[in-house]
Chain A
Amino acid sequence: MKRVRVSQQEIVFAVFAALFLTFSVFLNGFLSADNMLTLLQNVAVLGILGLAMAIVVIGRGIDLSLIAALAVPGGLVLQMVQNGHSLPASLLAAGLLAIAVGLVNGWLIAYAEVPPLFATLATGLFVAGLGQAALFQLDVVQWSDGMAGFERLGQGSILGIPTSIVMFAIACVVVFVLLRQTRWGAYIYAIGDNPFAARVTGIPSRPIIVLQYVLAALIGCFAGLVLAASVNSMPTRIFNSTLIYDVILVVVLGGIGLSGGRGGVVNVIIGTLLIGTMLNGMTILNIPYAGQNLIKGLVLLIAVITDTLLNPRNEETAQQGDI
């Protein structure tokens, strides 16, 4: 009998398709253009964060400070404008802060050779603490008059498509071009695939690793601005939420292995779509919160188990472990 080989990406896509079809047939109002846009809009920020995480994971790293990079620079913009600074100056400060976070992460991981899991865990805590202790007066930083007009980054629509979806699309294109069309992108894949071989062949692996984390922090900061614009405030407490797991989920579920070197933008989109479809369908069905978690967990388990059954672990993962 011929062995069927299906990648995790395809499995997840199949699960997504199955869910989508079921909802479309049985759920009134699910398959309307309006609802499709809402579905995408609700997961746009998650998707943008997924792209940031994807860059790092492809390079065989992980960035747990991503939510801090979303909350703190974004919150800083709102706080500075509230305190009377101009919007461009505040945006510049936020951008610099994000770059600084990325540089510290990258330096710790590439030069000090601290495992990314610990390095980013620590910087994330540090940055979130910095925000709470020194930058913000309150956890929820409110919108102020000086921000007028900026909410268009996350509200309203462009040519009938909600702006946050457009922002996700732009981020997808930028990351796609970076990963697939530039030399840097190729280097990231090479480092993720085999860091030692990459170094031997003369790839400047340390600067490229720093670049990954700077990009991730900048994309995180961008996601934060979209989020803040869409809810007219910055709930900086989001750092304490489980959002980071959702981001890792989107990436891993979409088929970007944590061992690095594989996957791309398409995987993030698939992962995001699956999560979005589940959330949207369950909200329409008005399933209670506990039930939602149960179903989410179940769907994930099915995806992971199917993957393990169809694609037994190869020698590489067996040696390295999954993370």
Chain B
Amino acid sequence: MASVHKFALGSIAALALSAVAAPALAQQGLDEPFQKPFREALAGKTVAYVPVAMNFDLTEGWYAGLKKELEPYGVKFVIRDPNWNTNAGAQAVTSLISEKPAVMVIHNPDVQTYAKLLQRAENEGIYVIQINMGSAYRSSAFVGANWIEIGERQTEGVVKACQGKSNKIAIIQGALSAAASAYTLKGVENVLAKHPEIKVVSSQAADWDAAKAKAITQTVLKQNPDLCGIVGFWDGMDIGTAAAIKEAGLTGKVFLATSGGGERKGACELVKNGSFDLDMSYDVPTQAAQMAGTIKWLLSSGVKAGSVKGSEYTTLIPITKENADNQMTCWNLSDLKK
């Protein structure tokens, strides 16, 4: 009996041992079949980047974000900086088409100028991703803010703040030629159409210029000291609007809604110190990550350029006093570049 027992025990032990040992011997990695083609699809590819200009938070942020995501895979970057010159931009796009990068990331100065060129680029097999400012041509992907929504949500904020007050508001537009400004204005109009009680006492273009925005706001506030809100079109410009409100001693009484890329110094800090009451942020690092994701998808899918077309509108972050302190709400260019 005892020997039988022993034998049984021995065989169980042997079985157990072999059960443990066998897979150990057989433990060779399993190849994931898609990662190699993915790496190969990205390695050595060129992404050309044509913003309207470098040196401002949005375009620097997009570039830093793209590089961070794609450079480790061996993607090369070409950058053409037209420095606010639409003609130079069109030339850059034209010459890039003949250089045949795999992807072009385009920040349009307006709706028309690049439209034909972008279509040509996709016909030549270059994927075109448009960022924040779309053109009349719909390319493989558009990643960016929905300006109409921005205008609507800013105005909703102002209208709400005006309840029980004078209902007088002012609008500080950007540059008249910029489609982003015109789209935002449409959003403002959409909300105002539902609120006939709101009276727009001034609607002026300040050319994205803080000094002009300040001058206009000062004059408007002198004429209408009971103003209850201002819809501004860009936080970089509305620093001037906020300075005028502060000088008039009306901080907290005039609700200032604006929008921007959510850079810490230009957005969160200014919301915290009361300059802005609402800053609709189209979080630049998220936009960069979405672009990078789209580029990865396009390159690895191998679809024909221009055969798929889609949009990724940015989910907006409304920055107010409540979340301005949160580390995740805003971003730093220097951190993004690291």
Interface residues of A (CB under 8 A from B): 29, 32, 34-35, 38-39, 41-42, 45, 132, 136-140, 142, 144, 155-156, 162, 227, 230-233, 235, 237-238, 240-241, 279-280, 283-284, 286, 288-290
Contacts and interface: CB of A to CB of B under 8 A. Distances in A.
A7 to B, nearest CB: 30
B88 to A, nearest CB: 12
A38 B222 contact: yes
Interface residues of B, number: 38
Contacts of A136: 55
Contact of B176 (A139, A227, A290): A290
A138 B260 CA distance: 15
Given A142-B266, A241-B207, A290-B176, A155 B219 contact: no
Given A32-B222, A132-B55, A280-B219, A235 B211 contact: yes
Given A138-B55, A140-B266, A289-B204, A230 B243 contact: yes
Contacts of A286: 201-204
Contacts of B215: 42, 279, 283
Contacts of B84: 237, 240
A138 B204 contact: no
A144 B265 CA distance: 8
10 contacts: A39-B219, A42-B218, A137-B60, A155-B247, A231-B240, A231-B243, A233-B236, A241-B207, A283-B204, A286-B203
Given A42-B218, A283-B219, A139 B204 contact: no
A283 B220 contact: yes
A144 B210 CA distance: 17
A156 B247 contact: yes
Nearest to B225: A34
Contacts of B242: 232
B34 interface: no
Given A38-B219, A286-B203, A232 B243 contact: yes
B98 to A, nearest CB: 27
B76 interface: no
A29 B220 CA distance: 11
Contact of B205 (A137, A138, A289): A289
Contact of B222 (A35, A232, A233, A279): A35
B53 to A, nearest CB: 7
B223 interface: yes
B138 interface: no
Interface in B181-213: 201-205, 207, 209-211
Given A137-B333, A286-B202, A35 B223 contact: yes
Contacts of B209: 235, 238, 241
Nearest to A43: B215
A77 to B, nearest CB: 16
Contacts of B240: 231
Nearest to A154: B243
Centre residue among A162, A232, A240 by max chain B CB count within 10 A: A232
B223 A235 contact: no
Contacts of B204: 283, 286, 288-289
A199 to B, nearest CB: 41
Centre residue among A39, A138, A237 by max chain B CB count within 10 A: A138
B219 A235 contact: no
**Interchain residue pairs A-B with the least CB separation, the first 7:** A42-B215, A231-B210, A142-B265, A289-B205, A231-B240, A283-B219, A139-B56
Contact of B53 (A34, A139, A238, A290): A139
A138 B51 CA distance: 14
Given A235-B209, A235-B236, A238-B209, A284 B219 contact: yes
Given A38-B218, A290-B176, A138 B57 contact: yes
Given A140-B56, A232-B242, 10 more contacts: A35-B223, A38-B219, A136-B55, A137-B55, A231-B243, A235-B209, A280-B219, A283-B202, A283-B219, A286-B202
Contacts of B216: 283
A120 to B, nearest CB: 20
A42 B56 contact: no
B214 interface: yes
A81 B2 CA distance: 89
A250 B80 CA distance: 37
Centre residue among A29, A39, A237, A290 by max chain B CB count within 10 A: A237
B63 to A, nearest CB: 12
A82 B254 CA distance: 29
A42 B202 CA distance: 17
Nearest to A32: B222
B284 to A, nearest CB: 12
Interface in B212-262: 214-216, 218-220, 222-223, 236, 239-240, 242-243, 246-247
A233 B239 contact: yes
A136 B240 CA distance: 20
A155 B201 CA distance: 25
A132 B219 CA distance: 32
A7 B260 CA distance: 49
Nearest to B266: A142
Contacts of A289: 176, 204-205
Contacts of A34: 222
Contacts of A137: 55, 60, 333-334
Contacts of B176: 289-290
